[in-house]
Amino acid sequence: MSAPVEIRYDENGLVPVIAQDAETNEVLTLAYANREAVEKTVQTGEAHYYSRSRSELWRKGETSGNTQKVVEVRLDCDGDALLYRVEPRGPACHTGERSCFFTPVYGEPDGEAPDLGRTLSRLAGTIAGRHEEMPEGSYTAKLFQRGTGYAAQKVGEEAVEVVVAALEGKKLAEETADLLYHLLVLLEERGVKPEEVARVLDERHR
């Protein structure tokens, strides 16, 4: 892979960069890069950007561990914006969300059913962020502190609660939500991405 030469940098020597999940096509973040950041990205295969607030080059995940492996760099038709197609390792957003674009502004009117896949993806990002930061007082962090055995035990307990709720005909949605949350914690604890589970399901039901 060679560095593109047609890039039109702005008066500050920067170009906007959109990071997109190469597998799901989800837009993860918008950042900026200077010429050096683009060259570093191309040379290393790891996403590099330029921090306008700190006025310095930075590699995504340098401190958090949430790196982005770049599989392709694309230039837009006007030559003044880049697309990094990446394989994210952890959430893209500093808040712990998988994508920085998690705040709805328009397009989800009241009464519209939430999208389960999007909700689970967002939750998985938050859980990954808790695993990375281990904030004091966090229930999720406590689960990680107690290890795989305890996380697995909680999944078993929640699964039983789902069965009971189904048989009794009440609170099935609530108990299912608890089960899915604890299952995502267990997947994170064992280093299994939810995308891997989705891939298996896709292959089984084509």
Q: For the chain, which residues make up each domain, given as ranges?
A: 15-88, 116-204
pLDDT above 90 covers a percentage of the chain that reads 60
- CA 44 to chain CA centroid, Å, is 21
Q: What is the pLDDT of residues 45-90, one digit of tens each?
A: 999 999 998 899 999 988 778 899 999 999 999 999 999 999 998 8
Average pLDDT value for the chain: 89
Helix axis angle for 116-133 and 172-189, nearest 10°, is: 50
Q: What's the whole-model pTM score?
A: 0.55
- Each residue's pLDDT tens digit, 93-140: 877 778 888 877 877 555 556 678 878 887 888 888 888 888 889 999
C-alpha–C-alpha distance, residues 193 and 158, integer Å: 21
Cα separation, 84 vs 78, whole angstroms: 16
Secondary structure, 3-state, the chain: CCCCCCCCCCCCCCEEEEEEECCCCCEEEEEEECHHHHHHHHHHCECEEEECCCCEEEECCCCCCCCEEEEEEEECCCCCCEEEEEEECCCCCCCCCCCCCCCCCCCCCCCCCCCHHHHHHHHHHHHHHHHHHCCCCCHHHHHHHHHHHHHHHHHHHHHHHHHHHHHHCCCHHHHHHHHHHHHHHHHHHCCCCHHHHHHHHHHHCC
Q: How far apart are CA 175 and CA 162, in angstroms?
A: 5
Q: What are phi and psi of 199, to 5 degrees?
A: -65, -40
State which fold the 15-88 domain adopts. Ubiquitin-like (UB roll) (3.10.20)
CA nearest to 82, candidates 104, 44, 50, 108: 50
Superfamily of domain 116-204: MazG-like (1.10.287.1080)
Q: In angstroms, rounded to a whole number, what is the distance separating the alpha carbons of residues 157 and 194?
A: 21
Would the pLDDT of 91 be above 90? no
Going by pLDDT thresholds of 50, 70 and 90, the confidence category of residue 4 is very low
Of 102-111, 137-146, 152-161, 181-190, minimum mean pLDDT range? 102-111
Q: Are 185 and 128 in contact (CB under 8 A)?
A: no
pLDDT digits (tens, 9 = 90+) for 37-51: 999 999 999 999 999
Least confident of 23-32, 128-137, 165-174: 128-137
